[in-house]
């Protein structure tokens, strides 16, 4: 059985198929990760951090090689893929650099009592990471970086279309000196992964993917009393209330929509523009979106078919689509949907591709209402020249993240995650390292 395969989305050509793991191999992977935990956790934080630092360094040194693989797997331009890999390296380096401070004992101030107390962070054991195809290196770094410095061990199940990059990344861990069993890559089926989640040796699960996958994983984990971190879909609003540079604002909205060919959970998928700026904005936004054409393919035939169906249903329900041409293979031209009413399926769906939709609102209150009128709550973008309004609206948005007057501002130190059907838990920053930690309280009598 070859569930894992590299199929070049630009041509549809099968590059290479990889054998799916046997049940025995999956059990051996779990045993290896669980067995390696004690020795890995027994190392000092500084010792683990030094190895994780090497993982980050190797990502940056070998970024060109890994970028070429990512391009073959999911169509990302090599320059963008190299940037992703280098950012992944920076994430490993961030946690290596800050590990001792992030994992230091945290004193507790006692009231009317003698002695002392503190929280000592410690590892929990072997963890399972289930990662998607759209950022094959970055997603792994977000999960593995903090957990390895904590002392947890990692089993990594990547998307079936990313077997080559997942193997290359596993090789980087080995080259950096990560002991055997501390980072284990497996080509497992969904059925096998269900058994892995249920295995008592697995202490937690982190998934980045679809709502459907998140619900399935959370159900199994819940039955087995396992903690889960879920980073799921998004339909992030880009809210424009005022600007002193319309062209720059339009450029930001375009970039935030079509970066990674629009295949990002935190892309700016719904643009919400106040009435007085709408006509100018929508004209310039549509012009630049349409002019972008189809510079890169979507990741797969399945992704193209899903987006095509969504667009067909949106237009059939009354939306207007401006685009530069027809879909050709997996090459989907950029486009803009307008006249998307609440009864249109596109109003509440996540469009995973280079298609934006623009909405007109009367005022700030209407913008907030529309922005929050979605099943998702991952990120949001807010553009305004009024600093008080910026913080007021940011507080009212039902999302896990708000970026004010800027896009592409992600950084290793900034927590990433959402609310509602976008999942729960956080990755990156000081919050991301705390998800799979035993926060052990130690009390010493006076």
Phi, psi of 436 (to 5 degrees): -120, 60
For the segment 410-422, the average pLDDT, to the nearest whole number, is 98
Residue 125 CA to residue 438 CA, distance in Å, equals 10
Given a cut of 90, is residue 104 above it in pLDDT?
A: yes
Given a cut of 80, is residue 1 above it in pLDDT?
A: no
pLDDT tens sequence across 252-264: 999 999 999 999 9
Q: Confidence band (pLDDT; 50, 70, 90) for 324?
A: confident
Residue 82 CA to residue 78 CA, distance in Å, equals 6
Positions marked active-site: 231, 265
pTM, to two decimals:
0.97
pLDDT tens sequence across 28-75: 999 999 999 999 999 999 999 999 999 999 999 999 999 999 999 999
Distance of alpha carbon 170 from the chain centroid: 19
Three-class SS of 319-366: CEEEECCCCECCECCCEEEECCCCCCHHHCCCCCCCEEEEEEECCHHH
For the segment 278-286, the average pLDDT, to the nearest whole number, is 98
- Sheet with 126-130, strands from edge to edge, namely 183-186, 153-157, 126-130, 202-208, 227-231, 423-424
Query: Domains of the chain by range and CATH?
Result: 4-232+422-444 (3.40.605.10), 236-411 (3.40.309.10)
How many degrees, rounded to 5, is the angle at CA 163 between CA 11 and CA 305? 45
3-state secondary structure at position 127: strand
pLDDT at 2 (0 to 100): 67
């Amino acid at each position: 059985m070859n569930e894992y395969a590299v199929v070049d989305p630009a041509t549809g050509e099968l590059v290479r198929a990889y054998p799916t793991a046997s049940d025995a191999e999956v059990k051996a992977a779990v045993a290896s990760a669980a067995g390696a935990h004690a020795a890995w956790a027994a190392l000092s934080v500084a010792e683990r951090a030094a190895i994780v630092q090497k993982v980050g360094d190797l990502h940056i040194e070998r970024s060109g090689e890994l970028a070429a693989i990512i391009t073959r797997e999911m169509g990302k331009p090599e320059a963008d893929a190299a940037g992703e890999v280098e950012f992944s390296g920076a994430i490993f380096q961030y946690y290596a650099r800050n590990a001792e401070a992030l994992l230091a004992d945290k004193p507790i101030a006692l009231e009317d009592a003698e002695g002392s107390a503190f929280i000592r962070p410690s590892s929990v054991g072997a963890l399972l990471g289930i990662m998607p195809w759209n950022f094959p290196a970055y997603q792994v770094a977000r999960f593995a970086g903090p957990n390895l410095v904590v002392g947890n061990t990692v089993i990594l199940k990547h998307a079936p279309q990313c077997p080559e990059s997942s193997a290359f990344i596993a090789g980087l861990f080995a080259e950096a000196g990560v002991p055997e069993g501390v980072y284990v890559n497996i080509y497992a089926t969904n059925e096998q992964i269900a058994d892995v989640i249920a295995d008592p040796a697995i202490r937690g699960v982190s998934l980045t993917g679809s709502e459907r996958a998140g619900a399935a994983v959370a159900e199994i984990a819940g039955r087995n009393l396992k903690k889960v971190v879920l980073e799921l879909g998004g339909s992030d609003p880009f809210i424009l209330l005022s600007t002193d540079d319309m062209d720059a604002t339009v450029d930001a909205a375009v970039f935030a929509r079509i970066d990674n060919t629009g295949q990002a959970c935190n892309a700016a998928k719904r643009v919400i523009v106040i009435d007085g700026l709408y006509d100018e904005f929508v004209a310039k936004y549509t012009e630049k979106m349409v002019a972008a054409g189809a510079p890169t393919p979507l990741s797969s035939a399945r992704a193209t078919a899903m987006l095509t169906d969504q667009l067909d249903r949106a237009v059939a329900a009354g939306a207007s689509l401006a685009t530069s041409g027809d879909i050709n293979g997996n090459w989907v031209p950029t486009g803009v949907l307008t006249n998307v009413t609440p009864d249109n399926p596109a109003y509440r769906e996540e469009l995973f591709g280079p298609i934006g939709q623009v909405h007109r609102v009367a005022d700030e209150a209407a913008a907030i209402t529309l922005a929050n009128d979605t099943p998702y709550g991952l990120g949001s973008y807010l553009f305004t020249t009024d600093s008080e309004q910026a913080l007021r609206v940011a507080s009212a948005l039902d999302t896990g993240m708000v970026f004010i007057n800027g896009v592409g501002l992600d950084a290793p130190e900034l927590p990433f995650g959402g609310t509602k059907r976008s999942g729960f838990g956080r990755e990156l920053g000081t919050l991301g390292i705390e998800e799979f930690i035993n926060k052990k309280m130690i009390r010493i009598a006076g």
